[in-house]
Amino acid sequence: MDYSLLQNFALALGLGALIGLEREYARFQKRGHDYAGIRTFPLIAVFGALSAYLGELISPWILITGIILTGLLIVIAYFTITDKSRKYVGATSEMAGFLTFFIGVLCYHGQTTFAVILAVVITLILYARSFLHHFAEKMNKEEMADTLKFAVIALVILPLLPNKAYGPYEIFNPFVIWLMVVFISGISFAGYIFIKWFGERGITLAGIFGGLVSSTAVTTSFAQRSKKETTIFKALALGVILANTVMFVRILIEVFVINPKLFVMMLVPFSVLILISVIFSYILWIKAKNVKGKVELSSPFTLGPALKFGLFFAFILAVVKLADVYLSSKGVYLVSFISGFADVDAITVSLSQLAKTTLDMNTARNGIVIAALTNIAVKGGIVYWFGDRKKFAKIILSLYLALIVLGVTLIFLF
């Protein structure tokens, strides 16, 4: 007996049951209609897997017939329910049922990862019905237009750009540079959504999650916003500090995955930097939470500043590349310092890998610390030039200066 075949059918049954469970729950919560539930959806998924199996074993027409039959049954069920209710009924459950059939097909063909992801996404979309409807209802014309603009730069322009380096020493990569533009715009867009739904608390969430992607993007976005929304400058500063705290944590995780021995050596300096940042964040949070200021939301999509930062990023990349070409023999610390201007992850991964073979552990650790502190200094410049200098920049720069002094001290101590 082919147990892998049984496993695929069992997976189809389970994924169908997951979607069916959500539909059954929605029906009991009176959010849906009586089309299908915990029993029907698993059967649809198994029918899809069985149709694919027989289609491969006997004739492809069996699979085609299965698709047609499933579609017809779903259409009949939809019109029957619509006729009974005598009002407009959405076709979300019907589409979910049709997709469940193909989840079964995917399971049979061994595309289990794709099938699981698809089933989970479908279930989430079904479950988030109220939230999505409420979100769409609260959108205004400008927000809808800006959403489409962001979709164009992220989903239309970015994929069309060549992911290839051009120019002297292959410095300029259009895809990478535009990706930074998308990051900046995306963080700004996400921050707008978080602020709209959660108020000032949304800034904190945007800072934490944005720091997982690009703390530089968070810093730039929030610095630009600090000039427009002056009443929430403390919350914006907190978001930036949290994003950079996440950056320290991200570096430790990268080192741990590549070189656990180096991770142990880096625990003390980076734990101190993280601890100071967390304490500073807590103090700032205490001060910011009692400030009652109205959050005046401007346009969620600001392409102009994002383009400026894209040019700035391209310039930094060029400087780093040229320095690497002409000064690479000057040592690891110089390369770490230069790399910190553009990116921390690349130098972290490189030094962690080299420390497993030829590079001294202390040198690798100090190089990563130097890159992180350089990156903090660069973001301090971004805060100063792009942000509100009177209040917002003053808060962040005081912490950044303390971190840099502390980091340099730790290098000499350890």
pLDDT at site 323? 60
Angle in degrees, 0-180, between the axes of helices 3-28 and 112-127, rounded to the nearest 10: 0
Neighbours of 159 (CB within 10 A): 9
Predicted confidence at residue 10, as pLDDT, reads 94
The 10s digit of each residue's pLDDT in 65-105 is 999 999 898 888 777 766 665 555 667 778 888 999 999 99
- What is the pLDDT confidence band of residue 14, given thresholds at 50, 70 and 90? very high
Average pLDDT (35-57) is 89
Of the candidates 267, 192, 250, the one whose C-alpha atom is nearest the C-alpha of residue 216 is: 250
Which of the residue ranges 115-119, 188-192, 332-336 has the most confident prediction, judged by mean pLDDT? 115-119
CB atoms closer than 10 angstroms to residue 2: 7
Which pLDDT band holds residue 62 (cuts at 50, 70, 90)? very high
Residue 18: per-residue pLDDT: 93
What pLDDT is attached to residue 346?
72
pLDDT of residue 329: 43
Residue 49 confidence (pLDDT): 95
- Pick the closest to residue 44 from 86, 8, 16 (CA basis): 16
In the structure, what pLDDT confidence band is assigned to residue 218 with cuts at 50, 70 and 90? confident
Residue 123 binned pLDDT confidence (cut-offs 50, 70, 90): very high
pLDDT at 184: 67
pLDDT tens profile 347-356:
887 788 778 8
pLDDT tens for 278-333 read 888 888 788 766 554 444 455 556 667 667 767 766 776 676 566 656 665 455 77
Confidence tier at 114 by pLDDT (50, 70, 90):
very high
Query: Mean pLDDT over all residues of the chain?
Result: 79
The model's pTM: 0.57
Residue 347's alpha-carbon distances to 145, 248, 342, 367, 370, in angstroms, are 39, 14, 10, 8, 10
Q: Are 219 and 200 in contact (CB under 8 A)?
A: no
Torsion sign over Cα 364, 368, 373, 379: positive
- 137-170: per-residue pLDDT in tens? 777 777 788 788 888 888 899 999 998 888 777 7
Count CB-CB contacts under 10 A for residue 166.
10
